[in-house]
Amino acid sequence: MFTFTVARADAGVRIDAFLSAHIPAVSRSRAAALVAEGRVTVGGAVKKPGYRLRQGDVVAGRVPDPEPLADHLPEPIALDILYEDADIVVVNKPAGLVVHPAPGHGSGTLVNALLHHCPDLGGIGGQLRPGIVHRLDKETSGALVAAKTAEAQERLAAQFKNRSVQKTYLALVWGDFNGAEGRIDLPLGRHPTLRKKMSTRSRRPRTAETCWRVKQRFGGATLLEVAIHTGRTHQIRVHLAAIGRPVAGDAVYGGKKKKGAGKPIQRLLAGARRQMLHAWQLHIAHPATGQKMAFEAPLPEDFARLLERLREEKKSD
């Protein structure tokens, strides 16, 4: 059960946005569903998800227990585990593995693998994403943390929501950079016509900030360390494409469409079979003890091999 009295600062805020901000484990869409189902009241009355709160409103309700998993079964999929204890498990997700079941991916996902590795996950976090508090794109590799208890799930979700988690990626991109580091501060949202894509020219953009630092230069290609301070969908890929430095191998945002790939280094980039983006480092506070923890995911073989070939090509120039 929960009860909130709306403060002056929250007056005018939609009730679904208010609930998402005040209950860490509840997403905006989940909050809207709870309101639409009549599980939330304002002053004792049921409202619509778009209702805008007034100062002094009393918001009350209950978040139901997670539904048991019905169609998503444990599968013996190998996991590269970086760390595990009674509360969390941190894995090095391979490229090509979808994080959670969705239309077209009902099996063979990280969730199916985790359900096999940790049978108790079936009662955490709802039906489709047990224990999952953040995600990586299918073709992005690297460190991902999952909760093994309901309490850990709630506390980790709060960390991601309040942006106290530190995430650093490695990205191999087309082109050169004049400076050693920089920041991209461009709002992101759904593409105005292509609904599966994100864009810096959305009709309903949200703030997004990406910081980059050059790690190695190859002449026509650059390896970057990238830190994100917001967690928008496809953020790194869209931001880097927006400044004309798309991630190598990214077919959606331009990585495979570069022209004039005549130089050996450019030909190597053009041959990338998936986006060269890796979630390298992850810093969190342990959800049970509060201890600061840092994890580093080794580069996958395809990424490491491409970098080595680029280094060799650069030496031969």
pLDDT digits (tens, 9 = 90+) for 232-270: 889 999 999 999 999 999 989 985 545 545 588 888 998
Tell me yes or no: is domain 166-316 CATH 3.30.2350.10.
yes
Angle at 168 between CA 163 and CA 169, to 5 degrees: 130
In CATH terms, the superfamily for domain 2-61 is RNA-binding S4 domain (3.10.290.10)
Averaged pLDDT, 145-173: 91
**pLDDT averaged over every residue in the chain:** 88
Most confident range, picked from 29-38, 206-215, 308-317: 206-215
Longest dimension (CA), the chain: 74
Which residue in this structure is represented by tokens 């693998």? 113
Residues 6+ positions from 228 with CB-CB distance below 8 Å:
167, 169, 208, 209, 210, 211, 235, 236
Supply the pLDDT for residue 254: 82
Interval 100-143: pLDDT, tens? 877 666 688 998 999 899 887 766 655 556 788 899 999 999 99
- Dist. CA 45–CA 168, nearest whole Å: 45
Confidence check: pLDDT of 97 > 60? yes
CA–CA dist 110, 99 (Å, integer)? 5
Every domain of the chain with CATH number 3.30.2350.10 lies at 81-161, 166-316
Helix (H) or strand (E) holding 170: strand 166-174
- Residue 258: CB atoms within 10 A of its CB come to 15
Residue from 137, 176, 185, 317 carrying the catalytic annotation: 137
73 or 41: which carries more pLDDT confidence? Answer: 41
- CA–CA gap between residue 160 and residue 130 (Å, rounded): 16
Token pair, residue 104, equals 């077209």
Residue 117: left if φ>0, alpha if ψ -120 to 50, beta else—which one? alpha
Domain with CATH 3.10.290.10 in the chain: 2-61
Q: Which range has the worst mean pLDDT, 32-41, 88-97, 178-187? A: 32-41
Predicted local confidence at residue 255, as pLDDT: 56
Residue 317 designated active-site? no
pLDDT in tens, 48-92: 989 999 999 999 998 876 555 555 688 999 999 999 999 999 999
Q: How far apart are CA 18 and CA 8, in angstroms?
A: 13
Which fold would CATH assign to domain 81-161?
A: Pseudouridine synthase (3.30.2350)
pLDDT at 260: 45
Strands 81-84 vs 40-42: parallel, antiparallel or unpaired = unpaired
Question: What pLDDT does 72 receive?
Answer: 66
Q: Which residues contact 91 (CB under 8 A, 6 or more apart)?
A: 79, 80, 81, 82, 110, 143, 144, 146
